[in-house]
């Protein structure tokens, strides 16, 4: 399947792995790229530019195909060593970067100078247009369904994707609610050039997380996510558990007066405990509504090949077939 995204990124399939915290490491990124998608290493998870360089080298040993690095720009009193991370990306020969969070304009000139393609994650049409205006090569548009941070506009992909497609000239990747061939065909019908799958890739054999996390996703339904940190205007969709419900009760009680300190016990330092140690009820961790569509733990290759096969079947038998039937029906 050729799209503007496969052409831009040099990949076989229009499937991108989400840059997930404590998940986007070489074992998963390398497997996704080797299977024909685009794997993504999450830079800030590695902890330092030197560790990122090592992770890039590990991924390079797993695949000769393109893979990318996610670089998220967060507001911080003591910001990460972003110049160091950019240097590790360039020196590691990585040619695709997914930026997220704040405006990435500070790193665009040096990345472009070294031939790096930049995809910026957005949660609204206005942010996507800004990314296009500052020179990003593509955008990944996150609908309200997505795990992690869906923004504050609460617009689902059935509306957000065609609206973005009406405005943008650069390629667009659909993110949020993407799980299989049905998702891929629907996203492309709405104007996307590919899909970004995060939570779905979390439940694969190669995902470098505790099995408890994968089993929790299989057990979850589409009704089992919650939106936290709304009073802070840093909304995050997470899988519900007792700690999350306690967090929500604190937010309901304090309302607009809620501070990060009030909910720190449920959100700070949670990811190592969940993803590494398997303490899935330790606190809030990102999960998309797509959990309701996760019923197994395939290998990455099985998931990608199944997705593409299902997409082709839908296109050939349901969509083209429906058109042929209609054409043969007398007026």
What confidence score (pLDDT) does residue 9 get? 98
In the DSSP assignment, the letter for residue 75 is -
**318 has pLDDT over 70:** yes
Instruction: Quote the distance between the C-alpha of residue 68 and its chain's center.
Output: 12
Question: Quick one: residue 253, left, alpha or beta (phi over 0 = left, psi -120 to 50 = alpha)?
Answer: alpha
- CA dihedral (261, 262, 265, 271) positive or negative: negative
Reading phi first (left if > 0) and then psi (alpha if -120 to 50, else beta), residue 81 is in beta
The CATH code for residues 4-208 is 3.20.20.70
Closest CA to 199 of 301, 275, 277: 275
Strand partners, 72: 100
- Token pair 């995204």: residue: 5
Q: How many other CB atoms are found less than 10 A from the CB of residue 257?
A: 9
pLDDT, tens digit (0-9, with 9 covering 90-100), for 235-259:
999 999 999 999 999 999 999 999 9
Q: What is the DSSP string of 40-63?
A: EEEHHHH-SHHHHHHHHHHHHHH-
Q: Measured between alpha carbons, how far is 204 from 209 in angstroms, rounded to an integer?
A: 10
**With 70 as the cut, is the pLDDT of residue 327 above it?**
no
CA distance 134 to 317: 41
pLDDT digits (tens, 9 = 90+) for 267-286: 999 999 999 999 999 999 99
pLDDT at 249: 98
Would you report the helix, strand and coil content of the chain in percent, each value rounded to 5? 45, 15, 35
Burial class (CB in 10 A: 0-12, 13-18, 19+), 112: middle
Structure tokens at 42: 């999450």
How far is the C-alpha of 132 from the C-alpha of 103, rounded, in Å?
A: 11
89, two tokens: 């990306």
Q: How far apart are CA 90 and CA 71, in angstroms?
A: 13
Residue 234: pLDDT band by 50, 70, 90 thresholds?
very high
109: tokens are: 């000139």
Question: pLDDT tens for residues 138-152?
Answer: 999 999 999 999 999
pLDDT for residue 45: 97
Give the confidence band of 330 by pLDDT, cuts at 50, 70, 90. Answer: low
pLDDT tens sequence across 151-198: 999 999 999 999 999 999 999 999 999 999 999 999 999 999 999 999
C-beta atoms surrounding 126 within 10 Å: 12
Q: Is 140 helix (H, G, I), strand (E, B) or coil?
A: strand
Share of the chain above pLDDT 70, in %: 97
Query: Do 172 and 263 form a contact (C-beta atoms < 8 A)?
Result: no
pLDDT, greater one: 130 or 74: 130
The 8-class DSSP code of residue 272 comes to I
Q: Flag the least confident range among 13-17, 23-27, 119-123, 317-321.
A: 317-321
pLDDT for 329 equals 53
Closest CA to 70 of 107, 35, 115, 36: 107
In this prediction, residue 321 carries a pLDDT of 73
Q: Could you give the residue range(s) of every CATH 3.20.20.70 domain in the chain?
A: 4-208
Query: 45-78, pLDDT tens digit by residue?
Result: 999 999 999 999 999 999 999 999 999 998 877 8
pLDDT single digits (tens) 196-209: 999 999 999 999 99
Q: What is the pLDDT of residue 211?
A: 98
Q: Which two tokens stand for residue 81?
A: 């060593």
Exposure string over 73-106, b if 16+ CB within 10 A, otherwise e:
beeeeeebebeebbebbbebebbbbbbbeeebbe
pTM value is 0.94
pLDDT of residue 331: 53
pLDDT > 90? residue 320: no
CA dihedral 324, 316, 156, 147 (to 10 degrees): 170
Phi, psi of 173 (to 5 degrees): -110, 135
pLDDT tens for residues 281-310?
999 999 999 999 999 999 999 999 999 999
């Amino acid at each position: 399947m050729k799209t503007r995204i496969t052409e831009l990124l040099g990949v076989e399939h229009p499937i991108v792995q989400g840059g997930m915290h404590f998940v986007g490491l070489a074992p998963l990124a390398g497997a996704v790229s080797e299977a024909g998608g685009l794997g993504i290493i999450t830079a800030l998870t590695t902890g330092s530019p030197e560790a990122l360089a090592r992770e890039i080298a590990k991924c390079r040993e797993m695949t000769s195909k393109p893979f990318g690095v996610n670089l998220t720009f967060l507001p911080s009193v003591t910001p990460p060593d972003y110049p160091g991370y950019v240097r590790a990306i360039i020196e590691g020969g990585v040619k695709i970067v997914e930026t997220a969070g704040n405006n990435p304009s500070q790193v665009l000139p040096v990345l472009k100078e070294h031939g790096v393609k930049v995809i910026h994650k957005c949660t609204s049409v206005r942010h996507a247009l800004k990314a296009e205006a500052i020179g990003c090569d593509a955008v990944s548009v996150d609908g309200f369904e997505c795990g992690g941070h869906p923004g504050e506009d609460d617009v689902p992909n059935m509306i957000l994707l065609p609206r973005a497609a009406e405005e943008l000239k650069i390629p667009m990747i659909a993110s949020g609610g993407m799980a299989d061939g049905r998702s891929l065909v629907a996203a492309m019908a709405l104007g996307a050039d590919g899909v970004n799958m995060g939570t779905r890739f979390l439940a694969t054999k190669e995902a470098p997380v505790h099995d408890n996390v994968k089993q929790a996703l299989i057990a979850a339904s589409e009704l089992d996510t919650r939106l936290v940190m709304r009073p802070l205007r840093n909304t995050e969709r997470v899988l519900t558990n007792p700690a999350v419900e306690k967090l929500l009760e604190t937010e309901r009680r304090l309302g607009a007066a809620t501070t990060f300190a009030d909910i720190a016990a449920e959100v700070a330092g949670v990811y190592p405990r969940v993803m590494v140690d398997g303490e899935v009820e330790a606190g809030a961790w990102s999960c998309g509504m797509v959990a309701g569509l996760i019923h197994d733990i395939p290998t990455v290759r099985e998931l990608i090949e199944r997705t593409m096969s299902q997409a082709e079947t839908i296109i050939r038998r349901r969509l083209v077939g429906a058109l042929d039937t209609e054409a043969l029906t007398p007026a």
